[in-house]
Amino acid sequence: MAEFSESPKDRPSEISELPDESQNSVSDFDPCTMRKTKPGLKRLFLTLTVLFSFFLGSPFLLKSIEIYRSPLPFRDIDSLSDSVGSSPLLFPCHFQAIFVGFDNFDAYDLGISIKHEMKKLTKHPVCGTCSDSNYTLSVTVDSGSGCARNYNAESTFMWRCGAIGEFDLGGGGDDDGVDEFLGSVLGSCEGFRKVYSVVVVNRGGEVRAVVGKYRHAWIVGGVLEEGMNAVVARVAETFVKVFVNGGKEEGSIHGEFMPVGADGRIVLSFNLLNADPTDWIYGWDFQRIDEILLAPVIKALGPVANISVESQVLYHTPKSSFSYWDEKWDSYIFSTKDLPFFVNSNEWHLDTSIAAGGRSKILQFVVYIPSAKECPLLLQLPNGEISVTNAFISPMWGGVAVWNPPGCLRDSESKHPARHTISPQDLQEVFEIFMGQLRQLFGLKSDSLYVGASGTTNLLASERGFTEWELDVLSRQHTCFNLVSCATTLGSLSRLVQSLPRMIIMDEIGKQVKFSLEAAKLTRSNASLGIYDASAVSSRQARSLAEDAFFHPSIMSVSYYSFEHCFAVYSPFFLPVSMHVLLAAFREWRRYKQETAKYLAWKEKAKVAAS
């Protein structure tokens, strides 16, 4: 419509040029380079309006095709990653050293020298240990009649003076009795805080160091013969290397050796494998083992992992490599170099469990009963000796124990082998091996000796498999690992989300991230208060929520709504249309410039002519 309304106005003006031209008959007016009227702005205005409305409309279009993304707390995630990355998580620890029979020494000086020794040992604090800035050390020198304490000995962990005199420490080598006695003396005043104590008793005789089932150790004997510095070094080493680091060299857990699944669960799957049931069939009374042996361990490990137990008996499960007969041992020998071929994954249907969730960790424990053809079967160490336990572990997979039937006697030549049950004593032995394997899988030592720089220490074993100070170590280390893993996972999630702007993020993911961050925060506050169990539980939660968010199934839909897809849908319209609009605007603009130049040229001419 617009062009019809404007054409009558335009035309007369343009047509009027012709009569002007003929009337004036000015020879220097060139219609190709000059014009007498001002060029019109209407068409230029129109095309520019269309162009700008396109520009203005594009945000609305982008808004309308926007993908829903739940807002993620990127800043909180970054600050968590930064704080976890910059400073390792350290716990406050409380130590107590009690010297009995050191009447000539000053408690204050001893405290200073022990602290100095401990500082030497913790030069580079590892995540999950105690920092030298927030531990307390109290030193008590018990002289029988009275006690001398160093200055920061708080009333919360008081040593009852002269308590040791009532008991003959380490007299008859009854370590368990001493342990129980010290436990009752020290445990009564322990209260809410966890205090690690070392009792040093100076008497004649051989020096003996023992770490008990609770949170204390004792050193008995003629300790002063080696000098006071040795005593101090030994006390400091017990504190740092045993109580804090758990008696092992490497401090924190490496990701590939983490026995707890990403959802904080472990399934212990116990399998009894009868290699050839035609020779003999063995069963076990697993119900009893479960109730008596496993239940306390699972309860003790509760803060670190949520553990469930299952069992099965499988038959016709030969191992996949051969053993050879050795006259010297009068048995079949399977050497260590063949161990990778012991587990027969074709025939051993150990199976993942339905009861376990997708990210649970399954640890397989296998009792292998060899067939009559290879009985007795012994495992040989690389140095030619025979393995005492007749078992081996495979890190992150589980453990295998070979159990040879007593006597290796076949039940006559009948076709129907009788059913036997592994005797409770044998089964107990096997499960003690498994307990050691479980400790190894958790990164603890399976033997009862700690050899340090300043001497050998005996470690007492608990009937629950894990002593209290070991559980503390595990709690601390797992808290640290979980927190680091949570921060890494959330960091990767935030990087992924930010790098893919067209990814749908459900509200659920946002919620999981939020809860994960909250749990991580709770972990840090619990850790700073020194509540190991609670911080282990909340760190596990933080890790599992972070993993849930990262592996949320809706994230997979990213490939189905990519930018290419969006481009393919909208380009057939916008490409041709925008070409038209841009070209029109450009042409009009060019024409306007040309016409204006013409007009100006004419004006110049007219001015010259007029003057």
* Residue from 120, 160, 349, 495 in contact with other proteins (CB under 8 A): 349
Question: What would the 3-class secondary structure string for 423-446 be?
Answer: CHHHHHHHHHHHHHHHHHHCCCCC
* Residue from 132, 310, 338, 533 in contact with other proteins (CB under 8 A): 310
Per CB under 8 A, which of residues 145..204 are in contact with other proteins?
none
By beta-carbon proximity to other proteins, the closer residue of 409 and 575 is 575
By beta-carbon proximity to other proteins, the closer residue of 281 and 304 is 281
Binding mask 354-393 for other proteins (x = CB under 8 A): xx--------------------------------------
Residue 582 as a binder of other proteins (CB under 8 A): the answer is: no
CA-CA-CA-CA torsion sign (180, 181, 185, 188): positive
Residue 353 as a binder of other proteins (CB under 8 A): the answer is: yes
HSE toward the beta carbon, residue 561, CA cutoff 13 A: 15
- The window from 70-78, 165-173, 205-213, 304-312 that contacts other proteins (CB under 8 A) reads 304-312
By beta-carbon proximity to other proteins, the closer residue of 47 and 541 is 47
By beta-carbon proximity to other proteins, the closer residue of 116 and 316 is 316
* Residue from 27, 104, 133, 287 in contact with other proteins (CB under 8 A): 287
- The window from 130-138, 191-199, 205-213, 353-361 that contacts other proteins (CB under 8 A) reads 353-361
* Residue from 116, 373, 580, 590 in contact with other proteins (CB under 8 A): 580
Residue 30 as a binder of other proteins (CB under 8 A): the answer is: no
From CA 474, how far away is CA 522, in angstroms rounded? Answer: 19
- Coil, helix or strand for 392? strand
By beta-carbon proximity to other proteins, the closer residue of 525 and 594 is 594
Q: Say if residue 25 is exposed, middle or buried (CB neighbours under 10 Å; 0-12, 13-18, 19+).
A: exposed
Minimum Å gap between C-beta 372 and other proteins is: 13
* Residue from 584, 597, 601, 606 in contact with other proteins (CB under 8 A): 584
Residue 132 as a binder of other proteins (CB under 8 A): the answer is: no
Minimum Å gap between C-beta 42 and other proteins is: 9
* Residue from 192, 415, 425, 453 in contact with other proteins (CB under 8 A): 415
* Angle of the 228-237 helix axis to the 107-121 helix axis, nearest 10: 50
CB 365 within 8 A of CB 399: yes
Nearest CA-CA partner of 317 in 370, 379, 393, 373:
370
Phi, psi of 270 (to 5 degrees): -100, 130
Minimum Å gap between C-beta 520 and other proteins is: 31
What stretches of 357-467 show up as alpha helix (H) in DSSP?
A: 424-441
What are the start-end ranges of the E strands in 316-473?
Answer: 324-326, 331-335, 361-369, 377-380, 391-394, 398-402, 419-421, 449-452, 455-459
From CA 175, how far away is CA 171, in angstroms rounded? Answer: 9
CA-CA-CA-CA torsion sign (601, 605, 606, 607): positive
What DSSP character marks residue 254? Answer: P
By beta-carbon proximity to other proteins, the closer residue of 3 and 20 is 3
From CA 40, how far away is CA 10, in angstroms rounded? Answer: 8
Residue 593 as a binder of other proteins (CB under 8 A): the answer is: no
Question: What would the 3-class secondary structure string for 162-199 be?
Answer: CHHHHCCCCCCCCHHHHHHHHHHHHHHCCCCCCEEEEE
Cα 230–Cα 155–Cα 476 angle in degrees, nearest 5: 65
Binding mask 249-278 for other proteins (x = CB under 8 A): ----------------------------xx
CB 444 within 8 A of CB 451: no
* Residue from 103, 174, 225, 351 in contact with other proteins (CB under 8 A): 351
From CA 364, how far away is CA 99, in angstroms rounded? Answer: 46
Phi, psi of 56 (to 5 degrees): -70, -30
Binding mask 49-68 for other proteins (x = CB under 8 A): -x------------------
Minimum Å gap between C-beta 571 and other proteins is: 8
HSE toward the beta carbon, residue 15, CA cutoff 13 A: 6
* Residue from 5, 15, 123, 607 in contact with other proteins (CB under 8 A): 15
* Residue from 38, 120, 299, 316 in contact with other proteins (CB under 8 A): 316
By beta-carbon proximity to other proteins, the closer residue of 72 and 275 is 275
Q: Please report, as ranges, the residues that interact with other proteins according to CB under 8 A.
A: 2-3, 7, 10-11, 14-15, 31, 43, 46-47, 50, 277-278, 281, 283, 286-287, 290, 310-316, 349, 351, 353-355, 415-417, 568-569, 572-573, 575-577, 579-581, 584, 587-588
